[in-house]
Amino acid sequence: MWRPEFANALDDVSHQLSCYHIDDEYSFSPLEVSLDPAEIKLIRSVDQVFIHSSALLARKGIFNPHTELIPNGVDYQKYAFTAAEPPELAAVPHPRIGYVGVLKTMLNWPLLLDLSARHSDWSFVFVGDPAPHADVPAFLSALAKRRNVHLFGAKPAGLLPGYVQHCDVCVMPYRLNDYTKYIYPLKLHEYLASGRPVVAPPLPAIEPFAGAVLLADRLEEWSSAIQKALSPFENTSAACERRRAIARMYDWDLIVAKIAATLAKRLGYSLPADMQIVTKSSNQQASVDQIFV
């Protein structure tokens, strides 16, 4: 289960093993709030806890000895395999600065307004639907008036790699606050798997990837980081492969194998032979060790 409001399922469903998957800070508060007593009770009562970010692990991983860090991953082949350039994107001038994801209040909209105004020669591409957040429509309305901003709306999941791969720089323009410090962006490894340069704020989940992701906080840093991401040095085949090599270590097959191994151990079962092959492959086993230490 996920979310503390589903705790009643423990009493309603007969089970051999109960798992609580924490994939967000469910207060959604931009300012730090006290832990929910109901969630603490749930964490303590289940047999197994999975937590998706190191910051959340530090905050909520102390209540149950059977707690594992399980980060977000990527369908590596889907994002690394060359995808066709979407026709609507082909009409957008280079350089293209792209964001693929939900357009939500957690994004740093004032920053995006400033960047798109300052760099009229850059094309800013947004692929995703707006979330039902009160402040988002006004920001989108202001951005939509700019000739160098392109709002393409939501696309089927199968088409997203084409948008990511055919942007020149992929960005994760999150605000820095007491909510976003707990997130682990799903798009992190999707961007890296595409090989494209990535710029993001120094969130706890992103900082360990500073060698592959250019970090930026204030407007000047963002301008400089994107300019650097557009440089030949960041777009060599070696730089592209360096980013993809990191993403390969977070392929969902590896992450699911870790989850399966944990559940099998708790239940006293052996993994199926084909899954043992995945986890025991020399290269992939090293990857698992790097991810889950």
* 105: CATH: 3.40.50.2000
- Parent domain of 196: 76-246
Same domain, yes or no, for 61 and 82? no
pLDDT of residue 270: 83
Number of domains in the chain: 3
Last residue of a domain, one of 40, 70, 100: 70
Same domain, yes or no, for 23 and 56? yes
Token couple for 82? 């060359």
Same domain, yes or no, for 173 and 125? yes
Q: How many CB atoms lie within 10 A of CB 290?
A: 11
Q: What b/e readout covers 121-156, taking b as 16+ CB neighbours within 10 angstroms? A: ebbbbbbbebeeeeebeebbeebeeeebbbebeebe
Q: What is the pLDDT of residues 226-261, one digit of tens each?
A: 999 999 999 999 999 999 999 999 999 999 999 999
Same domain, yes or no, for 161 and 230? yes
DSSP 184-201: --THHHHHHHHT--EEE-
Same domain, yes or no, for 176 and 84? yes
Q: What is the mean pLDDT of residues 269-293?
A: 51
Same domain, yes or no, for 155 and 239? yes
Q: How far apart are CA 115 and CA 223, in angstroms?
A: 7
Q: What is the pLDDT of residues 163-219, one digit of tens each?
A: 999 999 999 999 999 999 999 999 999 999 999 999 999 999 999 999 999 999 999
Same domain, yes or no, for 259 and 236? no
pLDDT of residue 17: 95
Q: What is the pTM of this model?
A: 0.91
Are 125 and 96 a contacting pair, CB within 8 Å? yes
Same domain, yes or no, for 142 and 224? yes
Helix 252-267 / helix 282-292 crossing angle, nearest 10 deg:
80
Token couple for 278? 């995945």
Q: How far apart are CA 143 and CA 110, in angstroms?
A: 10
Tell me which residue of 180, 192, 166 sits closest to 85, measured CA to CA: 166
Identify each DSSP E strand in 167-256 by its residue range. 169-171, 198-200, 214-215
Same domain, yes or no, for 58 and 95? no
**Residue 270 C-alpha from the chain's centroid:** 31
Q: What is the pLDDT of residues 118-130, one digit of tens each?
A: 999 999 999 999 9
Same domain, yes or no, for 92 and 28? no
Same domain, yes or no, for 40 and 151? no
- Residue pointed to by tokens 């007491």: 178
**Residue 245 C-alpha from the chain's centroid:** 17
Same domain, yes or no, for 263 and 241? no
Last residue of a domain, one of 70, 88, 120: 70
Mean pLDDT score of the chain, rounded to an integer? 92
